[in-house]
Amino acid sequence: MAINGVKDFDIKNLTSFKVGGKISEVFFPENIEEFTQILTENQDIKVFGNLSNTLISSFGYEGKIVLTTKMNSVKIDGSYVIADCGVKGPKLSQIASENSLSGFEFMIGFPGSIGGEVFMNASAHGQCISDKLVSVTCFSKAGKIVKFSKDEMGFEYRKSRCLADNLIVLQAEFELETKPQEEIKTKMAENLAFRKSHQPLLNLPNCGSIFKNPQNDSAGRLLDSTGAKNFTVGGARIWENHANFIVNDNNATSTDILQLMFKMYTKVKNKYNIELQPEIIFLGGTNEKENELWQTLIKPQK
């Protein structure tokens, strides 16, 4: 029997930017079987985890999406951890800590989910998701469930084979290290304190880092040198403590945020001839002005 989603779903409050209009249909699978059925029955459907690095158009999206927020199964077998794609990073970090397992301390402040973090090889504080990864179970564009070892995943900075091969992460298996719980908790506390001092908390709606770091440089440094911390467009502004973060300060629209991103991008391009690449994802399509802005931001670098 076909699985139905929720029609005309107002997505705004589920995004960490607190921006977005209505989605034609949203599915909320609770396990891998439901997830794969939805993917099989709905060709070209878009998949999201916790919407922590996604800007959704205020004009909405005339299509179907899957949110994996209800896929939150975690199994622990000794030092092995198997997590469904919808498990949130902080939750997995806490579970590992309670079992005296080290390797996920860096995720304590990440608002994202495991599927997205594997997809983009998330990293912080000298750790990354691929460090302890054993294998990833994915749904392929051919409609099959396939399993890849760590070596087959092609992990690089903010990249994996998921992007090139259009793979959707269903589940990931990790092998962690056993360490004293106090040592793990101390590291987690340090990471959380660092995040709080270097990134805006989610009570200031934001999407994390806006642009990727260019090779051997920092997007934040480049932006700061252009005076970006003073930039505002509509209800969106640059966070005063770090120039690579946009906060939704006053009911910002997606157009406000895209225009602010374009301003950031243009200032760095004009000063350094470096074209910053977005780290966030944009979901829209119905507004021509927004589409033009986004296409400029994501065009391939020369």
* Residue positions annotated with a catalytic role: 158, 209, 279
118: its two tokens: 């594997």
Distance of CA 51 to the CA centre of its chain: 7
Measure the CA–CA gap between 145 and 269, rounded to whole angstroms. 42
Measure the CA–CA gap between 276 and 298, rounded to whole angstroms. 9
